[in-house]
Each structure stands twice: as C-alpha cells, then as structure tokens.
Amino acid sequence: MDSPFILVNLKTYQEGMGHNAHRIAAAAEIVAKESGAVIGIAPAFTELHPMSHHYAIPVYAQHIDAITPGAHTGHILPEAVRSAGARGTLINHSERRLTLADIDACVQAARRLHLESVVCTNNDATSAAAAALRPDYVAIEPPELIGSGVSVSKADPGIIERSVNAVRAVNPDVNVLTGAGIQSGECVKIAVDLGTCGVLLASSVVKADDPEAVLRDLVSLL
Ligand code: G3P
C-alpha cells in the first residue's frame, strides 16, 4: 500500500489554535519526514492559510458548504478553502453533520475543485452510503468513542472491518480511514492491518504535552 495517512483534526481545541497549531504542524512535518508516513492536519478555517504557507504537510479544511461564490453570508466557500492552500476537506464530521444530499453536493464540489474529500461516517451502513458518492476517503468514527480516550481499534475492531468490507463492496477505489480514540502505534497498526489506509484523530495529539512524541509513537509500528 501507499504510505499510511495520519490526519490530525485540530477541531476548535484551544490547544490547536495559533502558536499551538504551529507547534503541532512543525512536529508533524518532522515526524512525516523521518518516518515516510503522510501526516496531514485539519486546522480551524482561520489557520488554513498560515498552515499551508509555512509547512509542507498537507492541510485539510474541517468542513465546506456546497455553495458557489455569491451571497452566502457565514458559509465556507469550497473555492476559498482551495485558495487558502487546502489539499482537501473533511465532510460530515460527527461534530458537523450534514444531510445525505448535502454530503453528495460537497463531494461533488470538492471533486470539481480538485480537493480531496474525506467523508466521515458513524457505522458500516453510512460508510456504504458514503462510498456510493465516490469520495477519496471514508472515515469511520463511532461517535461514542470520539474524544473518549478509548481506541476504536481496540474497543470495536469489528466496526472497522465491517466498514472496510462495506466500502469495498460499493466502490473499491474509495480509501478507508478510521478514527475515535486513536492514541498509539498499536492503534494505528490494528487499523491498517484491518484494511484501512490510516487514521483520523484529534485529542491524543492536540492535547498532548509533547505532540511530536505522540506522533512518533503513532507511526512507530508501520
Ligand atoms: O476527527 C477526529 C475525531 O473525531 C476523533 O477524535 O479525539 O477521539 O481522536 P479523537
């Protein structure tokens, strides 16, 4: 397989804003270089351009709205995300749920703009539905484990396996990521051994005293 993909969502954590975002991005850049893993970050919208400008790692938006340029006050324009230097975007994160029609429109907008699309799902049925929309990635994240400190890889490996199978059955070109409570190299290895191409995670890196050490551990068994 290609290099494993570790995508760090900074959410709206205080520990992921401003100079803290720079600290995490700098650490990700060092560990990615050392390990050969692809480590991306999804910062707050206001940090997209600083992150893409200062660091070589891929940068992702946390959300887009399926709108075109015009009168849409308070929305996130996919074109703006693209011109801020994002390589891709999360869509339908558990903390920013969309309707199926909106997910479809966002995936199409991302495709039109050559943004990678990472559609988050909460179980194998929604993973299959998301795969039918032909995103680049489906990220399976059981909501009850998000931010819990309990790893999906250990607590519910079955949901990873079922999602990989569901996605493959619908569209084998769609890659699968897994997330929720991912915190160690062992969690990443289990996820990869179950057929995913990497992980989507947040708190274990963002809230760490030493994000570089956690990132190094995450890629240590690959
Ligand atoms: O987007 C990543 C996420 O929802 C998982 O969060 O804190 O459990 O790694 P966390």
C-alpha 182 to ligand 1 mean position (Å): 7
Q: Residue 179 CA: which ligand 1 atom is closest?
A: 5
Instruction: Look at residue 58 in the predicted model and tell me its pLDDT.
Output: 98
Cβ of 62 less than 6 Å from ligand 1:
no
pLDDT, tens digit, for every residue of 154-201? 999 999 999 999 999 999 999 999 999 999 999 999 999 999 999 999
Reading the block at residue 144, the tokens are: 């009850």
93 is catalytic: yes
Going from the C-alpha of 81 to that of each of 11, 116, 118, 194, the distances in angstroms are 16, 12, 14, 32
pLDDT, tens digit, for every residue of 27-64? 999 999 999 999 999 999 999 999 999 999 999 999 99
Position of tokens 């200062």?
54
- Average pLDDT of the chain to the nearest whole number: 97
Q: Does this model's pTM top 0.95?
A: yes
Spatial distance between the Cα atoms of 90 and 195, rounded to a whole number of angstroms = 20
C-alpha 202 to ligand 1 mean position (Å): 4
Nearest CA to ligand 1 atom 4: 146
